[in-house]
A and B are shown apart, each in its own frame.
Chain A
Amino acid sequence: MKIEDVVCPFCGCLCDDLVVEVEGDKIVSVENGCTLANEKFLGNNRLKTPIIREGSNWTHIDIEEAIKTTAEILLDADRPLLYGWSGTHGEAQTIGVHMAEMLGAVIDNTSTVCHGPSIMAIQEVGHPGCTLGQVKNRADVIVYWGSNPIEAHPRHMSRYTTYADGFFLKEAFRERKVIVVDIRKTETANIADEFVMVEPGADYALLSALRAIVRGKGDILPHNIAGVEKEQLVRVADICKSARFGAIFFGLGLTMSRGKYKNIRNAIELTEELNRHTKFTISPMRGHWNVYGSNEVFTWISGYPFAVDFARGIAFYNPGETTSVDILRRGECDACLVVASDPGAHFPKDCCRHLASIPTIQIDPHVNATTHLSHLQIPVAVTGIDSEGTAYRMDGVPIRTRKVIETTYPSDSEVLEKIYQIIRREMGP
């Protein structure tokens, strides 16, 4: 049986035009997806039952027992951390936030190691953006800064930017100019009309220089800025100013290099400056398919998009203090629940060492790097495959993921709801 318009739960592109062929409780083929989608849908090494450590071995444990143990560990802790959330549906994220406010825990999502700096910059200067369809239909200048979509968001350019024909651009590929800024010639840089090779860690200076040029103050600049010839920068500024509609996309090349959120802020202020001349937007290339969803859910409940600390009853937000990497590195938390993410694979060694030293519970369908740091793992259904729920695309558009096969795994929501109810009962009104 073929199921159409399936939503891919992998990257922030949240493509919703996949065709998945299903036989019984197995997926046999995927059409329209990229290699990442194929891996996600066709992959098959799920953890079969909940497992718990006993000494240096793993043993199986009944799910109700696992849920009870999780609740007990979290209730017992003085500073529990609930981390992850980006790989599950919004309904589960909602339960997570309510759990955190009940427990007086810290709740954080993968923005903390990804586009957290983008959010921090937006909190300083705002976000002049748009939905992806605006770019597809109107943009004649595309800028990728510190982002390599060919490898990380494979269908971004064909669905939304460079190669996507739109209402006002019928031969998009011919009518568009692509500018790529990166520290090395990536696959994406290879197809650029203008490739700007910036020195590592020097994007801030480059962005400041561009802003000055757009403002008409380029004469005060030296001939070479951050490894880039001023001549090329002036050319790039001209392309941008004479665009009908320019769209900047940026990734971890800016968020995770020297200056972090100040780089993003500078890029946003450049966009705002360009808006005095023509239409320009800027958008972060969100990684996980539902990390934006976790930002949205955290915000409408607590007021803050990530790194929320409920220890004092009210919501408190301070990246650098309430962010997971900092809390783990300082050895501050005494229990951790990891949901739908893999900190073991992404966090610094000191953080992983601490995770291994405290009771860490993971709710995840697969054995991954975090499993080796955990005390207990509960496998669940994969959202978008055997469970469904809301996801938010990288531009904020909400799409409901589908359930294409039926399995016996509970969903994240079901497991979290049970844990939450035990916590509510124990803690009273």
Chain B
Amino acid sequence: MRVILETKPRKKSKIPIEAESIIPQNFLRGTDLCVFEGNKQRPLDEIFFITVEGPAVSPDQVEVILKGDTGRIKRVGEYMNAGKIVVEGDIGMHCGNFMSAGKITIKGNADAWLGREMRGGEIICHGNAGHYCGAGYRGEKRGMRGGRLEVLGNAGDFVAEYLCGGEVIVRGDTGDLPGVEMRGGKLIIEGRCIRPCGNMTGGTCMVFGQVQDPLPTFEKKGKTQVDFRGMKVTMDSYRGDVANRGKGSLLMKEQEILPE
């Protein structure tokens, strides 16, 4: 089944839409769903032109496609556990939060909190992601715990904050403090970043681009070789964050540290 949702023009287009009802399994029951525009509830067909093609008997047969002005539509794919979502353009905050299975593809940019507290499944963002990509929720000790999140562009600050499982890959650059508080899982940054892995206690982070202002509380352990896109790359291997009794592993491509 393909469900195509194309946005209709809205009078107050800057007011965000909360659309946690847009997950593949909900469309098995039809399209009689609703979303919220600010504090007003709206039926799905007031916000989108809806087209449904083909049948499905289980959610993993459902593919939802979002088109149009989707950059302010939040919570799409929240708690998703099967099926596919494809966003042709940009997507709003909290896309794929708590996801446990299925696949979300974003062709444009993703706003903040992409894949927050992800448990499983796959998210791929072709554009840039905002802050808190693959992060956790305030006050919880564990953030993303499973699944695979890949950003082909750049990401913002606090990527993979509280990471405890799963894999987060940013092909471009990230902002400040990626991997902060991480305790498990794997974070790979192919581009540049600033102050990676503050307060880390576990897990592995690899940075292939330039690192700005690396933190002084990581203990150098030597060098190691890793596979990077078919090539062997030498990395400086660090353990830390020593400020925090940390036993995490931070690998930075050797000699890619910006001078003071």
Q: Are A215 and B242 in contact (CB under 8 A)?
A: yes
> Which of B14, B132, B215 has a CB less than 8 Å from the CB of A332?
B14
Which one of A54-62, A152-160, A179-187, A201-209 contacts B?
A201-209
A-B contact count (CB 8 A): 106
Contacts of A343 in B (CB 8 A): none
User: In the complex where A79-B39, A262-B180 touch, is A321 in contact with B12 (Cβ < 8 A)?
Assistant: no
Contacts of A215 in B (CB 8 A): 242-243, 245
Contacts of B132 in A (CB 8 A): 320
Q: Are B216 and A221 in contact (CB under 8 A)?
A: yes
A202 to B217, CA, bound (A): 13
Q: How far is the CB of A304 from chain B (nearest CB, A)?
A: 10
Asked if B241 lies at the interface with its beta carbon under 8 angstroms from chain A, I say yes
Contacts of A334 in B (CB 8 A): 12, 15, 38
Q: How far is the CB of A306 from chain B (nearest CB, A)?
A: 12
Q: Are B177 and A259 in contact (CB under 8 A)?
A: yes
Contacts of B21 in A (CB 8 A): none
Query: Smallest CB-CB separation from A330: which chain B residue?
Result: B14
User: In the complex where A320-B112, A320-B132, A321-B112 touch, is A209 in contact with B216 (Cβ < 8 A)?
Assistant: yes
Asked if A217 lies at the interface with its beta carbon under 8 angstroms from chain B, I say yes
Against A, the Cβ 8 Å flags (1 = close, 0 = not) of B25-68 are 00000000000111110000000000000000000000000000
8 A Cβ contacts from A59-79 to B: 77-79
Q: Are B39 and A204 in contact (CB under 8 A)?
A: no
Q: Are A269 and B14 in contact (CB under 8 A)?
A: no
Asked if A255 lies at the interface with its beta carbon under 8 angstroms from chain B, I say no
> Which of B14, B16, B198, B243 has a CB less than 8 Å from the CB of A212?
B243
8 A Cβ contacts from B171-229 to A: 176-177, 180-181, 195, 198-199, 213, 215-220
Contacts of B216 in A (CB 8 A): 205, 208-209, 212, 221-222, 225
Asked if B18 lies at the interface with its beta carbon under 8 angstroms from chain A, I say yes
Q: How far is the CB of B214 from chain A (nearest CB, A)?
A: 9
Query: Smallest CB-CB separation from B13: which chain A residue?
Result: A331
Asked if B131 lies at the interface with its beta carbon under 8 angstroms from chain A, I say yes
Q: How far is the CB of B162 from chain A (nearest CB, A)?
A: 9
A211 to B215, CA, bound (A): 13
Q: How far is the CB of A400 from chain B (nearest CB, A)?
A: 32
Q: Are A204 and B195 in contact (CB under 8 A)?
A: yes
What is the interface of chain B mostly: helix, strand, loop, or mixed?
Answer: loop
Which of B39, B138, B195, B245 has the most CB atoms of chain A within a 10 A radius of its CB?
Answer: B39
Asked if A124 lies at the interface with its beta carbon under 8 angstroms from chain B, I say yes
Asked if A282 lies at the interface with its beta carbon under 8 angstroms from chain B, I say no
Asked if B139 lies at the interface with its beta carbon under 8 angstroms from chain A, I say yes
Query: Smallest CB-CB separation from B194: which chain A residue?
Result: A258
Interface size class of A (residues with CB under 8 A): 35 or more
Asked if A324 lies at the interface with its beta carbon under 8 angstroms from chain B, I say no
Asked if B255 lies at the interface with its beta carbon under 8 angstroms from chain A, I say no
Q: Are B243 and A208 in contact (CB under 8 A)?
A: yes
Against A, the Cβ 8 Å flags (1 = close, 0 = not) of B1-21 are 000000000001011101000
Contacts of B14 in A (CB 8 A): 330-332
Asked if B93 lies at the interface with its beta carbon under 8 angstroms from chain A, I say yes
Asked if A311 lies at the interface with its beta carbon under 8 angstroms from chain B, I say yes
Q: Are A269 and B139 in contact (CB under 8 A)?
A: no
Q: Are A208 and B215 in contact (CB under 8 A)?
A: yes
Contacts of A77 in B (CB 8 A): 38
Q: How far is the CB of B245 from chain A (nearest CB, A)?
A: 8
Q: Are B241 and A208 in contact (CB under 8 A)?
A: yes
Q: How far is the CB of B30 from chain A (nearest CB, A)?
A: 23
Asked if A104 lies at the interface with its beta carbon under 8 angstroms from chain B, I say yes
Q: Are B16 and A124 in contact (CB under 8 A)?
A: no
Q: Are B18 and A204 in contact (CB under 8 A)?
A: no
8 A Cβ contacts from B221-247 to A: 241-245
Contacts of B15 in A (CB 8 A): 78-79, 332-334
Q: Are A262 and B198 in contact (CB under 8 A)?
A: yes
Q: How far is the CB of A353 from chain B (nearest CB, A)?
A: 13
Can you list 14 residue pairs at the A/B interface with Cβ under 8 Å? A78-B37, A79-B15, A123-B139, A205-B213, A208-B198, A208-B215, A212-B242, A212-B243, A220-B218, A221-B216, A266-B199, A319-B138, A321-B113, A333-B15
Residues in chain A within 8 A of chain B (CB atoms): 77-79, 103-105, 120, 123-124, 202, 204-205, 207-209, 211-212, 215, 217, 220-222, 225, 258-259, 262, 265-266, 269, 310-312, 317-321, 330-334
Q: A220-B217, A262-B198, A262-B199 are in contact. List 19 more A-B contacts (CB 8 A).
A: A78-B12, A78-B15, A104-B38, A105-B39, A202-B213, A204-B195, A205-B215, A205-B217, A208-B215, A208-B241, A209-B216, A211-B243, A215-B245, A222-B216, A225-B216, A259-B198, A310-B39, A311-B18, A318-B113
Query: Which 9 A-B pairs have CB atoms at the shortest separation, nearest pair first?
Result: A104-B39, A79-B38, A78-B38, A211-B243, A331-B14, A208-B243, A311-B39, A208-B217, A123-B139
Residues in chain B within 8 A of chain A (CB atoms): 12, 14-16, 18, 36-40, 93, 112-113, 131-132, 138-139, 176-177, 180-181, 195, 198-199, 213, 215-220, 241-245
